[in-house]
């Protein structure tokens, strides 16, 4: 039997946690961030989790006195059933904030404040909701809150009509009409300063509620580790309808030092009064359910070199196949030596030697075949110059890469490797699909050309065959005649030969003979 405190605004016939448009907050990166906060002994025991969060998030507070506030009644029932230790309150944030309750030592709102207001009440502005949230934080309490970036690359790349993007609820007006929503990381931080809360702001991507990357705003961000993590995490956008793959644009913002401006959102760790816990400078997902944290010193030590995939793409784009051959040969030989396949997106090339970046999971199956197939699929992306003919599909190019490396190719090895080689890339965006369409049209044209060429060849062969047949027949007749002469063959044989060679004359001769008789 579960117990839920229902306050005004509980929403029936609604779920936020099962919303396919916006997953509940969670993931390995947030776990590391919260771990850093909870590890500080000055942070008290009373925790309030506000809004839809993943079930696993509640497990991170197992030794704390935890309260959860959600607006959806079915979400509340699920949370309460899954973890009876947690006190669950269901209803509207403003209603919750106006009731007299002891403030909390730690308030966690990693889904932001977009899904905290009930449609039983008139829509409130972002600033009003954050004000309500801030009131729940104790004098020396900590607030973790996510803020969506209205100018994020993912939003710009979003192909859905505006009406389909309202993941916070269709009854809400579009976010663009709320002038209180922050449009920059600086605005986001300033929005809480009026409540006496200040602290650290992180840029987060790709999903604001389950980011694979968190980097403190204001720190240097152009880093091979960050590029690798962003590339790895882009698979989180697999369910998104996109106009273009935002990766290239994101990497450009890294180079320009403007990652925070284009990030999907910002995560703020704020405290009122006392000093903040010791926090990491960056947290990067390693894939799977793991993430690595970097303190200031670790983040400052940038590994030299490029990712193998970056180097390979550059060489293909410039059609420097000789250098590509050397790179691929070195990379696949390194994989073969180790007997463990690491994706080209996870391997660093520096001064001609290869090194795994971070602690990624190795590729499954045949190490060389899977690594080659992974790289092949990255090099066959629609925005990459095509240096292999169309009849070489991804398996074919993978085998060509192993051939480049001087490693014996075996089609069966590549068939088996197919499932294990799922590169970090967006391939379903409108731009890629248009490029694919153009490529397919070229492929069709090429196939038609081949059909035409084969038809011409066939016609030529037909003519050759007819000529050769005639020559053969003549030769046979001449041979028969010669044989007849040499053997004194009878009149009948000669007539037959003449009849075949000169049928009109033969017919006239037969008619003459018949008329005489």
Binding site for another protein (CB under 8 A): 6-14, 91, 119-123, 169-171
Using the minimum distance from each CB to another protein, give the nearer residue, 129 or 227: 129
Among residues 131, 96, 217, 118, the alpha carbon closest in space to that of 172 is found at: 118
d(CA 335, CA 370): 10
Query: Min. distance of Cβ 298 from another protein in angstroms?
Result: 46
Query: Min. distance of Cβ 89 from another protein in angstroms?
Result: 13
Query: Min. distance of Cβ 22 from another protein in angstroms?
Result: 15
Q: Which long-range contacts (CB under 8 A, 24 or more apart) does 186-195 make?
A: 188/147, 188/266, 188/268, 189/268, 191/127, 191/130, 191/147, 192/130, 192/134, 192/143, 192/145, 192/268, 192/270, 195/130, 195/131, 195/134, 195/135, 195/137, 195/272
Using the minimum distance from each CB to another protein, give the nearer residue, 120 or 462: 120
d(CA 19, CA 74): 12
Using the minimum distance from each CB to another protein, give the nearer residue, 120 or 139: 120
Using the minimum distance from each CB to another protein, give the nearer residue, 22 or 64: 22
Query: Min. distance of Cβ 171 from another protein in angstroms?
Result: 4
Is residue 308 a contact partner of residue 375, using CB atoms and an 8 Å limit?
A: yes
Using the minimum distance from each CB to another protein, give the nearer residue, 123 or 296: 123
Beta strands at 265-272 and 137-148: parallel, antiparallel or unpaired = antiparallel
Using the minimum distance from each CB to another protein, give the nearer residue, 13 or 492: 13
d(CA 388, CA 458): 27
Is residue 416 a contact partner of residue 366, using CB atoms and an 8 Å limit?
A: yes
Q: How many CB atoms lie within 10 A of CB 173?
A: 9
What are the b/e assignments for 214-225, b being 16+ CB within 10 Å?
bbbbebebebbb
Beta strands at 46-50 and 65-70: parallel, antiparallel or unpaired = parallel
Backbone dihedral angles phi then psi of residue 78, each to the nearest 5 degrees? -65, -45
d(CA 75, CA 81): 10
Using the minimum distance from each CB to another protein, give the nearer residue, 117 or 369: 117
What are the b/e assignments for 478-517, b being 16+ CB within 10 Å?
eeebeeeeeeeeeeebeeebeeeeeeeebeeeeeeeeeee
d(CA 413, CA 380): 19
Separation of CA 288 from chain center? 14
Query: Min. distance of Cβ 426 from another protein in angstroms?
Result: 28
Query: Min. distance of Cβ 83 from another protein in angstroms?
Result: 24
Query: Min. distance of Cβ 124 from another protein in angstroms?
Result: 12
Using the minimum distance from each CB to another protein, give the nearer residue, 63 or 170: 170
Using the minimum distance from each CB to another protein, give the nearer residue, 75 or 286: 75
CA dihedral sign, ordered 273, 276, 282, 285:
negative
Question: Residue 390: how many CA atoms within 13 Å on its side-chain side?
Answer: 14
Residues facing residue 46 across a β-bridge? 65
Using the minimum distance from each CB to another protein, give the nearer residue, 15 or 431: 15
Query: Min. distance of Cβ 165 from another protein in angstroms?
Result: 14
Query: Min. distance of Cβ 119 from another protein in angstroms?
Result: 4
Cis previous bond, 331, omega within 30: no
d(CA 363, CA 332): 13
Using the minimum distance from each CB to another protein, give the nearer residue, 6 or 440: 6
Using the minimum distance from each CB to another protein, give the nearer residue, 6 or 252: 6
Query: Min. distance of Cβ 35 from another protein in angstroms?
Result: 36
Query: Min. distance of Cβ 95 from another protein in angstroms?
Result: 9
Query: Min. distance of Cβ 111 from another protein in angstroms?
Result: 18
């Amino acid at each position: 039997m579960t117990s839920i405190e229902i306050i005004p605004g509980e929403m029936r016939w609604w779920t936020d946690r099962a919303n396919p448009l916006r997953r509940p907050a969670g993931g390995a990166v947030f776990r590391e961030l919260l771990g850093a906060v909870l590890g500080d002994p000055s942070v008290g025991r009373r925790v309030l989790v506000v809004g839809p969060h993943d079930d696993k998030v509640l497990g991170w507070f197992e030794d704390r006195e935890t309260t959860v506030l959600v607006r959806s009644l079915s979400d509340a029932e699920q949370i309460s059933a899954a973890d009876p230790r947690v006190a669950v309150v269901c209803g509207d944030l403003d209603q919750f904030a106006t009731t007299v309750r002891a403030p909390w030592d730690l308030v966690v709102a990693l889904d932001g404040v977009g899904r905290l207001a009930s449609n039983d009440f008139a829509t409130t502005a972002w600033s009003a909701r954050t004000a309500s949230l801030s009131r729940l934080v104790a004098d020396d309490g900590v607030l973790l809150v996510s803020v969506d970036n209205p100018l994020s690359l993912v939003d710009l790349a979003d192909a859905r009509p505006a009406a389909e993007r309202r993941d916070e609820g269709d009854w809400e007006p579009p976010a663009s009409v709320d002038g209180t929503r922050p449009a920059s990381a600086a605005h986001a931080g300033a929005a809480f300063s009026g409540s006496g809360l200040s602290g650290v702001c992180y840029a987060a991507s790709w999903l604001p509620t389950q980011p694979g990357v968190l980097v403190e705003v204001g720190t240097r961000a152009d880093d091979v580790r960050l590029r690798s993590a962003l590339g790895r995490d882009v698979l989180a956008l697999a369910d998104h309808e996109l106009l273009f793959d935002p990766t290239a644009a994101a990497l450009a913002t890294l180079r320009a030092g403007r990652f925070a401006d284009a990030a999907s959102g910002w995560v703020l760790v704020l405290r009122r009064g006392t000093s903040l816990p010791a926090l990491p400078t960056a947290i990067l997902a390693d894939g799977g359910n793991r993430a690595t944290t970097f303190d200031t010193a670790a983040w400052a030590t940038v590994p030299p070199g490029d990712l193998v995939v970056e180097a390979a793409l550059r060489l293909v784009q410039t059609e420097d196949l000789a250098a590509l051959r050397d790179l691929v040969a070195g990379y696949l030989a390194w994989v073969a030596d180790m007997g463990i396949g690491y994706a080209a997106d996870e391997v660093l090339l520096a001064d001609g030697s290869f090194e795994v970046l971070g602690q990624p999971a190795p590729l499954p199956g045949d190490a060389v075949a899977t690594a080659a197939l992974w790289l092949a699929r990255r090099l066959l992306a629609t925005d990459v110059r095509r240096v292999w003919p169309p009849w070489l599909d991804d398996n074919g190019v993978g085998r060509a890469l192993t051939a480049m490396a001087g490693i014996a190719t075996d089609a069966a090895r590549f068939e088996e490797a197919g499932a294990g080689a799922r590169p970090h890339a967006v391939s379903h965006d409108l731009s890629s699909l248009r490029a694919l369409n153009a490529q397919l049209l070229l492929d069709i044209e090429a196939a038609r050309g081949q059909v035409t060429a084969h038809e011409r060849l066939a016609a030529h062969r037909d003519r050759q065959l007819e000529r050769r047949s005639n020559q053969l027949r003549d030769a046979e007749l001449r041979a028969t005649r010669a044989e007849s002469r040499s053997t004194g063959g009878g009149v009948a044989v000669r007539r037959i030969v003449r009849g075949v060679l000169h049928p009109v004359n033969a017919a006239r001769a037969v008619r003459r003979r018949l008329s005489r008789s």
